Structures are given as C-alpha cells and as structure tokens.
Amino acid sequence: MRSKLDSFVDALLPVFATLAALGVGALMLLILRVNPGEAYGALWEGAFGSTNAIAETLVKSVPLLLVGLGICIAFRASVINIGAEGQMIIGGLMATQIGLVFTDLPGWMVIIMAIFAGFLGGAIWGGIPGALKAYFNVNEILSTVMMNAIAVQIMNYMLRGPMIDPAQLEKASKIPQTARLADAFRLPRLAPTRLHLGFVIAIALAILVYILLWRTTLGYRIRAVGQNPHASRYGGIRVRRRIVTALLLSGALAGIAGAIQVYGVNYRMITDGSSTGFTGGAGFNGIVAALFGQLHPIGTIPASIFFGALLVGANKMQRAVQIPSALIGALNGLVVIFVVSSEMWRNKRQKDRLSIESDVVNMGESPSDDPTSTPEEVLA
Amino acid sequence: MKKLLFVLVLTFALVLTACGGAPVEEAPVEEAPAEEAPAQEAPAEEMPSEEAPVEEMAEAFKVAVIMPSSTTDLAFSQSMFDALLAIQEEMGGEAAMEIAYSEGMFKVDDAAAAIRDYAAEGFNLVIAHGSQYGSSLQEIAPDFPETSFAWGTTLNTFSEEGINNVFAYEANSQEGGYVNGVIAASLSEAGVIGVVGPIEAGDASLYVKGFVAGAEAVNADVTVNINWIGSFSDVALAAEAANTHVAAGADVLTGTAQMVVGAVGVAEASGVLWFGTQSSQTSLAADVVVANQVYDWTVALDEMIALIKEGTYGGTAYTITLDNGGIVMDYNGAYDLPADVKAAADAAVEGIKDGSIVIPVE
Amino acid sequence: MNPELVIVGVLTSGIRLATPYLYAAIGETFGQRSGVLNLGVDGQMLLGAFAAFYVAFTTGNLWLGLLAAIIVGALMGLAMAFVTVNLQAVQGISGIGFYLFGLGMSELLFKMMLGTVETVKGFPIVSIPFLGDIPFVGKIFFQQNIMVYGAFLLVPLAWFILNKTTLGLKIRAVGENPEAADSLGVSVARIRYFTIILGGILSGLAGASMSIALLNVFQQNMTSGLGFIAVALVYFGAWRAWGVLAGALLFSFVNSIQLWMQVLNVPIPSEIAVMLPYILTIIVLVLTVSRVRPPSALTKPFDRGD
C-alpha cells in the first residue's frame, strides 16, 4: 500500500496542473493587456467570493456531476458516451411535458414523475446507441454524435410546435419555448440563493452509483466487461446486455440532469437552436469532470464542484475585466489538457508501487480497483 | 483508492479554505444574502483601454448588455451593441455612459449569472438581449428593485406578474422584410427568390413572413423558396442552402441570423443579389447587397434611459418600426437601384407607416 | 422542377459538402489506424480555418493561407502528439481539451485580429479541360475548386499509403500490436507522432477548405461541430479510406437532398429534413452490419517501459 504522502501528492496533481494551465492563461491575459492578478481575483470572487457565488458554483456543478456519474458507468464498461448533450435534451423535454400535462397534481408528485421521465428519456437516448453497439456493431462515438444532432432538431421542433407556450402562439414573434412550470413544481431551494434540491439529489445519486458499481453484481459485471470482454464472456457474463445497460444508465443520469435543469433552474424549456443553449455544455464538461474525479462516482463530486467553480468564476472574470469570452473557452481547454497530461505522473508512480497488483488486473480475472470488494465477496 | 478520494476531497476543502474563501460544505447553511449586496461594494468595472477619473465614473450611467452572439456578428447582437455605442457618443462618451457587455452568452444559466451580477454591481440598466433570457429576468428582477432591466425581443414586461422594473422591446422585422421583399421581387428576373433561415420561430420567422408578403405583393407568381437549416451557427450548411437556391434558379437571396454570412459569400460568388436584415451586411459583399433592414434600438433605448433617470424602472414595451425610426432601410450606395424600384420601396415604406399596407404575420 | 436540374444540384452540393469531412476524416483515419483517437478535430479545423483566412485576407495570397493552415494544423498535431504519446494522456478527454482550446482560441484571435466578419476571394472554380465539358458529369465533378479536387484525390492516396507502402504497414502494425511493432524495431512514438501531425495538417486543410475555398468567410465556431461528424465518419468507414469516402458522400448527399426537399416544398417540418442525414447514416450502418473491429490498440497509450 502506498503511503499517505504519496496519496496526497497524487491528489494534488490536478490542482498543480490547473495552476500550470492558469499560468499559461496569465501569459495570454498579459498579451491582452489585462492584469492577471485582477482577472484571477475576479475568477475566485465569482466562484467562491460570496454565499451567492458558492451557490452558483454548486448549481453549475449539478449537471456536471450527473452527467459525470453516467460517464463513470459507461467508461467502466469501456464505452465512451459523448451523447450526454442529446440525452439531457430528451430527458429535459420529457420531464417538462410531465409538468405541463399534470398541472393539477401536487408538486412533490410531479417532481418525482418528472425526474423519472427524465430518467426514461435519457435512458432511451442512451439505450439506442447501446443496443446499436451491442447488436449491430455500430460504434458509440458515431451514434452518440449523430443522436446529439437529432435531439437538437427534436427539441427545436417540439418547442416551436407541439410544446410551444400557448401564450406565444397569440403573439407575432413566437418564441420557441414551453409555458412556465407552475411554482409548486419547482425544486425547493436550499438557501436564499439559486441552490436547489437537485444538488442533494445529485450527491445521493453519486452514492447510489458508487454502491451500484462496487457493491452489486450488476456493477461487478459492468466493470468486468469493461476490463476484459472476452474473459467476461467465458465467465458467463452476457457482454452485450451489459453494454446496453451501461449506456442506458449513463444516458438516464444525463436525462435526470436535463430534468433537474428544467425543474431547478430554468422552469421551462427554451431553445436557441443549439444544444449548449439548454445544456450549458454539460454533456462535454461532465466527461471532463468525471475524468478529474478518476472515473469514480465519489471523486466526481469534488471534481464537478471544481469544474463548476472554474466555469462560474471564468464568467465573472470575463465580466470583470471585459475580455472576450472566447479566452475563457481556450483556458478551459488548457486546463483539461494539462490535467489529463498530469495523469502520467500519477500513473507512473502508481505503477511503480502496484506493479504486481496491476498485472492481476490486466489478466482480466478480477476488475478490482477497489481492494475492499473482491469478486468473491460480490458474487457470494 | 478510497483513501485517495478522501484525500482528494480533503485537499479540495483545504485549498478552498486556505485561499480565504468559505468552505464549500458550509455553503447551503450560510445566511448572508449576497443578492442584496450594496452597489458600492463592487467598484465599477472599466473598459480595459480607458482611464476615466473615478469621480466621473460614479456619475456615469451604467449599462450592461448580455448578448447571445458577438458584438460584431453583423446581425442581432451587433444591432444592440451599435445602438449602445451611438447613445454613448451622444451622451458624451465613456465618462457619461459606461457600457459593459457579456457576449457569446448562449448558455442560458451563464446569462442568468451575468444578469444577477451586473445588477448587484449597481448597473442602472441591464439589457438581456435575447428572448431566451426572459425566464431568468423574471426571476432576478424582483430582487433588484432599484435596477432597471430590459429584454427582447418580446412585449412582455412581466407587469402582470407584479414586476415593474422590466422594459421589453421588439422589432417589427416583418416591416423591413416586406420592403426587402418588394425590392427583391421587382429586381428578380427569374421570379425565383431564395431564403435561408435558422429555425422557424421568433424574429427570423417574422422577417421571412414579411419578406414573402412583400415579394408576392409585387409579383403574385413569384416563387419564394425557403430553407430552414436548423442552426444559428452552421455557416457551411447556410452556404450550401444558398447554393441550392441558386441551382434552383433563384437570382435573389435573403437570409436572417448570424450564420448567413456563409450565404452572403455564395451570393457574391454566384453574382446573385442579397438582402440583409438586423444589421447592415453591405461590407461583406458590396457588389451584390442591395438593401438591409437595420435595427436601430436607440429609439427604444433613449426613451428607456429617460424614464430611468426620472425614476421609472420598467413597465413599458417598445416596438421599433419603420414609423418610429427604429427600423431603417439601409441602401447600398454602390448598387445602382433603378428609380422605379426605389420608388416602389419608398411607397411600401410609406404604406406601412400610414397603415395602408397591413402585413399578415399569422 | 426539371429533375435533371435537381439531380445535378444534389450531386454538386454533396461533393462540396463532403470536402471538409474528407480532409478531416482521412486525417483521423491515419491517427486511429496507429491507435490514437483524436476528438479535437473540430478545434484543429477552426484554428486552421482562421489561420488560412487571416493570412489570405492580409496578404491576398491564398497559397500562403493554405500554408498557414498547414503550419497551424501541424502545431496542434504536435501538441496533441506530445500529450498523447509522451505524456500518455487519456486520448478522448485530451481531444476534448484540444477542441475547447481550438474553439476558444480561434474566436479570440478572430476578435483580436479581425474584429468583424470579412470576406476573401477564395480559390476559384477550375474547370478541368475536356472532363469539365462532359455534359452532366462535368458540371458535378470537374467544375469545382482546387480544394475539392484535393479532398477527393486524398482518398486513393491515403488508401495507397495505408495499404501499399511500408509506412502504411508500420502504421497499421503500431495500431494493432504496438508491442510487436516495437520488438521489430518500429518506433511506435515516431509513427504516432507522424500520424497525429498528419491528422492535424489535414484538419487544418479541412478548415482552410471552408474559409478560403467554399465559404470564403471566417466566423467563430463556423465548423459548428463538423469535426465530430468527421470522427464519426471514420467509424462509418471502418478505418478504410474508401469507407470514409462512402460515409462522407452518404452524409453529404442526404444533406443536400434535404436542402432540396425544402426548396421543392416537400411537406415535412424542416427539423425532420435537417435530421435526415444523421438518421440515415445510422440506419445504413445498421443495415450493412459491419464486423470490422477497431484497431486493437486504439486509445491505448504505449509504454515501452524504462
């Protein structure tokens, strides 16, 4: 086992990498004749400077965390889900429809139904690429990219057609949006800020996903398929079915993210013609958050908050020093590249220490990242 | 693995506290309502290039604008930014009026954060320049009764919801669309016109309806082919839609939203005429642009600012039209427009102004 | 409307639309064949598009613009290669990082250096002697600009390199079994550097084909996710140049058909029409059930051990 110091250094690597990326960003700021100290001060201020800022950071982290959890499941099964944008949209649409139809039901019931609808919508949009991969050998990167584009068009059509706000129909400029959800259907707020119950739901789901992956047979099988499909097949695991399950669950979590975005933040669906208008790019950023979190559900929690803080703070920075928002995008990219690159040192250090253990893993006999849950234990 | 994660969480919390912020864990229970943060607390942000004396800054009228696209998109966002710059100049430069902007805010909740932030910083007027921002505004405006907000394009000031510090603005884009349509149909020899639009809703749909009505008023047999490409950003598809129109025989094109720059390029390369809307697109293709409908939001903004200075923070909805000068027909001087066509266009403008021409938009 | 007109229209549009996909997807094919997944194509394209446009705009020389796109693409590829080969970073994620970087950086440079949308006179249409005069076919295939010809010539060239040369053999070996390739004296790192930089160059050219040949403008995010479609097409084409060509043509032809459907007033909502290329690409792939498996070492970093 490694020492505490080692773990500490490992855990700090992403932080160092981020600082290095921000260092490069500081150079870019200097070129733009902006004082980096002032800019990064604003970034910090925007992310953590006040109760409100912290709440905004947490609000931002909710979809990242939910998408990230889905990514954890998918990656554990060795599938890359870059379809979370579309899955969020379909989940959001179906959840919104619940709130628009069942206007007479009590709020808590509608919220539960809506989250379930989000789950279902995302599960469908994730399950299709899963089935296509498992049974027709259609690569999931291809299908999820295509399904994202299809979801955007469905959203545009639904919001300017069947689901449009009846009030907009009477106006000349028909804004493509649904009616606003009833006040009773909103997710309760946790403080006098925008922070809503969705944050708690997301944390609870993170724990659930952890239990699913490391404490259940299904989780064991998903991880086994990811580690070595051939060995799993000999071991009696239905590989295809597990691939479908993994993508389906992955999509479902993104779908819940969509539902929570509607019931916790926007209170309606509205389209600007793109997916990011609704998702805020969480479908991609969630992937990054999951990786920051070592593809572990619990690790994804601080990682999402970290990335949420970066996004919220960066917007504040843009406003404070009036630089083009594009710089923020470029900076985010740099952070991702630096953090991913810093993994090497961690892996190298880990490999040196755990060379024997990793050999076992590579044999595909037991997908035991977590020494506390041996397969025997799970299967017993 | 577990240990590592624990340390990761711990470190994260540590880093946060070490850097002087409140630990994340305490966030939900903390009670300080930062929303009501006094305006003086956050000092006025300056435009990076400018060094105005502090005393004057305090008196400057502060306007913030949140835009979905960029300040230079030759379309919707630029129309607002240009108007603000014009007003700034009119009022006496940056000392008299300060402009802060957030562009590229296509993410609705980022925009919401920006709106709240500008309000908290004591801006006098916060403009949310996109109908997708309405919901956020409805929620934020009541928290800042001393701040005035404006949004568009819509006529909904939320006064029915008891909110009285929100202005709304809208453009009758069908009016300039109609005039463009009249000129287009008069100039088209083939009798075929192509339209490239983003999604069939909102301002774009209104413009196209006006355009078609105008074209058909001149030539009942005109064919107007419409392509909705399903995106505000896909320049390549917009260009190919324009190519398709040209191949289908169109000798006049128009289009709306920021991705049409691709289509303007095709119009120029194919030597077919182009009609612009929202902002002037003449600079893109001086050979083929005939006319543009240009939004001049100063008409609405001047009135809003006057009201704000009197202490009225909202409740009025403005529609810019040809009649009130908010919609301006901008002709490309380099294009030799035949006098009879110009006369027909002027007649259309007059007809719309005096109400003798009613454009069906349903 | 005259059916011949429509058919010629669909085909010429499709050929044009396919052009950027071909550059980017062929570049990605080289990378994936050597075991590297690059999801940053869209970002590389945007930077290439901007570089080409800016240089062409300021110097008035399209060839210098093309050179700029190549250099910028190569630099992006070099960075990507360093990150994935030397630092052994997770490829999918670092690709997304490069995408975000390219997206932001190209817009930033655009704002700082140009400020507003401008136009250039791009590569003109070159009618190939004799071939261009053939009725019907000539107009579709042989009256295009030079970037379009380049994209289609790239396909047989890529096929030849991958299948008929030692270099191609090495690339495939590195993608299938880097350990074995390494033991035979092939430098896995060098080959991957080569394919990733080549991929970057071709992505840069894909961007240039848009900004100085097909559209002749630059606008922020002008690719609008096109690079991701290009990556998807590599899977469609099962890592073969001709397959990629088939995918790019299918996607583009259906796209031009949907544009024509709207022009011809086919009574379906425009959104359904816009969806068609995406849906049909999936359906065709399902129907032609492919059992080709990806290069074995795809996305796996190679570590020689010290």
Domain ranges of chain B: 57-171+296-326, 173-294+332-354
**Residue A82 Rama label (left phi>0; alpha psi -120 to 50; beta):** alpha
* Identical topology for domains B57-171+296-326 and B173-294+332-354: yes
| CB contact at 8 A, A202 and A305 | no
| Secondary structure (3-state) at B356 | coil
pLDDT (mean) for A174-201: 89
* C103: contact with A, CB 8 A cutoff: yes
Residue B129 region, left (φ>0) first, then alpha (ψ -120 to 50), else beta? beta
DSSP character string of chain C? --HHHHHHHHHHHHHHHHHHHHHHHHHHHHHHHTT---TTHHHHHHHHHHHHHHHHHHH--HHHHHHHHHHHHHHHHHHHHIIIIIS---HHHHHHHHHHHHHHHHHHHIIIII-S--B---PPEEEPTTGGGSTTHHHHHSEEEHHHHHHHHHHHHHHHHHHHSHHHHHHHHHHH-HHHHHHTT--HHHHHHHHHHHHHHHHHHHHHHIIIIIS-B--TTTTTTHHHHHHHHHHHTTT-HHHHHHHHHHHHHHHHHHHHHHHTT-SS-HHHHHHHHHHHHHHHHHHT---PPPPTTTT-------
The pLDDT of residue B25 is above 80: no
**Residue A177 DSSP class:** B
- For chain C, what is the mean pLDDT? 91
The answer on pLDDT for A267 being more than 60 is: yes
Q: Which of residues 14-43 of A touch B (CB under 8 A)?
A: 15, 32-34
Q: What is the pLDDT of residue C12?
A: 92
Say which of B72, B245, B264 has its CB closest to residue C116: B72
Q: Which token pair is A252? A: 């479902």
**Structure letter (DSSP) for residue B160:** G
* CB A166, CB B192: distance < 8 Å: no
pLDDT of residue B69: 84
Pairwise CB contact (< 8 Å): C89 & A146: no
Quote the CA–CA distance of A221 and A214 in Å, as a whole number. Answer: 10
User: If we measure between CA atoms, which residue out of B1, B27, B16, C92 comes closest to residue A298?
Assistant: B1
CA distance C236 to C250: 10
Class of domain C3-287: mainly alpha
pLDDT number for residue B24: 33
**Predicted confidence band of residue A3 (pLDDT cuts 50, 70, 90):** low
A123-127, A198-202, B178-182, B281-285: least confidently modelled range: B281-285
Based on DSSP, count helices (H) and strands (E) in chain A, helices before strands: 17, 0
Question: Hey, how many other C-beta atoms are within 10 angstroms of the C-beta on B133?
Answer: 27
Q: Does residue B50 register a pLDDT over 90?
A: no
Average pLDDT score over chain A: 85
Crossing angle of helices C226-236 and C41-59, rounded to 10°: 130
Look up the CATH architecture of domain B173-294+332-354: 3-Layer(aba) Sandwich (3.40)
pLDDT of residue A360: 37
Has residue C139 got a pLDDT over 90? Answer: no
Interface size, chain B vs chain C, as Cβ–Cβ contacts under 8 Å: 119
Question: Quick one: pLDDT at residue B255?
Answer: 94
Which pLDDT value is given to residue A172?
75
Against chain A, the chains showing at least 3 CB pairs within 8 Å are B, C
* Cβ separation B114–A4 shorter than 8 A: no
Instruction: Assign a CATH topology to domain B57-171+296-326.
Output: Rossmann fold (3.40.50)
Helix (H) or strand (E) holding B166, with range, is strand B166-171
Buried-exposed string C66-100: b where 16+ CB fall within 10 A, e elsewhere: bebbbbbbbbbbebbbebbbebbbbbbbbbbbbbb
Instruction: Work out the pLDDT band at C303, boundaries 50, 70, 90.
Output: confident
* C271 shares contact with chain B (CB less than 8 Å): yes
Model confidence over C246-299: pLDDT tens digits? 999 999 999 999 999 999 989 899 999 999 999 999 999 888 867 778 888 888
User: What is the distance between the alpha carbons of residues A323 and A32, in angstroms, rounded to a whole number?
Assistant: 8
Nearest CB partner across the interface for B284, out of C119, C224, C259: C119
Computed over every residue of chain B, the mean pLDDT equals 83
Establish if B236 touches chain A: CB-CB under 8 angstroms.
no
- Whole-number percent of chain C with pLDDT over 90: 70
Predicted confidence (pLDDT) per residue in C143-179, tens digit: 889 999 999 999 999 999 999 999 999 999 999 999 9
Percent of chain A with pLDDT over 70: 89
DSSP A259-281: HHIIIIIISS-B--SSSHHHHTT
Q: Which residues of B touch C217 (CB under 8 A)?
A: 235, 261-262, 264-265, 284
Segment A54-82 shows an average pLDDT of 92
Of B138, B134, B148, the C-alpha closest to B62 is B148
Q: Which whole number is the average pLDDT over B19-37?
A: 36
CB contacts, 8 Å: A150 with chain C: 275, 278-279
- Least CB-CB distance to B230: which of C8, C214, C274? C274
**Mean pLDDT, range C50-65, rounded to an integer:** 96
Q: What is the ipTM of this complex?
A: 0.90
Worst-scoring range by mean pLDDT, A25-39, A359-373, B135-149, B200-214? A359-373
Closest CA to A291 of A330, A345, A350, A341: A341
Q: Are A258 and A67 in contact (CB under 8 A)?
A: no
Element (H, E) at B278: strand B273-278
For residue A336, pLDDT over 90 is answered with: no
Confidence of residue B241 (pLDDT cuts 50, 70, 90): very high
CA distance B67 to A145: 28
pLDDT of residue A350: 67
C contacts of A156 (beta carbons < 8 Å): 271
- Pairing between β-strand B289-295 and β-strand B252-255 as defined by DSSP bridges: unpaired
Here the tokens at position A233 are 């097949």
Amino acid at C10: V
Assigned token pair, B44 = 């006025």
Residue C267 touches partner B, C-beta closer than 8 Å: no
pLDDT over 70 (residue B14): no
Both tokens of B230, joined, read: 């399903």
pLDDT(B29) > 60 = no
The confidence band for B1, taking pLDDT boundaries of 50, 70 and 90, is very low
The C-alpha atoms of residue A21 and residue A6 are separated, in whole angstroms, by: 23
Say which residue, A235 or B47, is predicted with more confidence.
A235
- Give the closest of C43, C96, C110 to A288, CB-based: C96
Contact at CB, A291 and C93, closer than 8 angstroms: yes
**In this predicted model, what pLDDT tens digit does every residue of B255-293 receive, in sequence order?**
998 889 989 989 988 999 999 999 899 988 889 999 999
pLDDT of C138 reads: 81
At A355 the pLDDT is 52
Least confident of A85-89, B90-94, B169-173, B321-325: B90-94
CB spacing of A136 vs C103 below 8 angstroms: no
The pLDDT value given to residue C33: 95
Query: For the ranges A317-326, A363-372, C64-73, C215-224, which has the lowest average pLDDT?
Result: A363-372
In whole angstroms, give the CA distance from residue A282 to residue A67: 7
Are C94 and A132 an interchain contact pair (Cβ–Cβ within 8 Å)? no
